[in-house]
Structure 1
Amino acid sequence: MAYVIAQPCVDVKDRACIDECPVDCIYEGPRKLYIHPDECVDCGACEPVCPVEAIFFEADVPDRWSDYRTADTEVFTGLGSPGGASAAGPLSADHPLVSARSEQPA
């Protein structure tokens, strides 16, 4: 299991979690941040610093955002495990679940 970033992060991407992550496993997509499940060490450092309360332990994701449990895994299909977000750079696309959401006004 790993931590998951759910819907409240979409179009927000505060990045405080990136600064807290000791293993550099939080990747930036165009509209949302993603935790790489194979690189996450389940330390939980990211969860309390999220200002929009979007980060949950996988088993604790609220039912209304349950689709996000697999989004953070599926977005890395084909990419594998680059071994760190800072070296890999931003993801070229979001998961279809995120891409399908209407953009929130700024």
Structure 2
Amino acid sequence: MTFVVGENCIKCKHTDCVEVCPVDCFYEGPNFLVIHPDECIDCALCEPECPVSAIFSEDELPDDQQAFVELNAELADVWPNITEMKESPADADQWDGVENKLQHLER
């Protein structure tokens, strides 16, 4: 089992989770983070650090976000690894809780 970054991270992209990850399994795209499923050790440290509640245990992922399991795996193989916290986008708070953000994902 692994943790999965879900839809609410899109355009919010806070990196608090990256700071606490002991195995550096986060990867960064232009406006979204993903967790590499083969590197995640299921330590659960990242989940409470996410200020927009976008990280889920795979077995607790909402039904409407199941596609993010595959999306995290796919993008973790092509995006660069991120190991240090960065400043969040200036408009991150405006995007928190917005529904149907998948259309805004930049690859």
When normalised by structure 1's length, the TM-score is 0.73
Unaligned runs of 5+ in 1: 87-98
Does 2:20 correspond to 1:20? yes
Secondary structure of 1:101 counterpart: helix
Q: Which runs of 4+ in 1 moved over 6 A?
A: none
Q: Which residues of structure 2 form unaligned runs of 5+?
A: 84-100
CA distance in structure 2 between the aligned counterparts of 1:27 and 1:37, rounded to whole angstroms: 11
Percent identity between matched residues is 43
Correspondence for 1:102: 104
How far apart are the structure 2 equivalents of 1:12 and 1:41?
24
CA RMSD of aligned residues (A): 2.1
Q: CA deviation at 1:102?
A: 3.4
The alpha carbon displacement at 1:31 in A equals 1.3
Question: SS in structure 2 opposite 1:74?
Answer: helix
Structure 1 position 70, deviation (Å): 1.1
Match of 1:94 in 2: none
Letter in 2 for 1:67: A
2:5 matched to which residue of 1?
Answer: 5
TM-score relative to the length of structure 2: 0.72
What residue in structure 2 maps to residue 90 of structure 1?
none
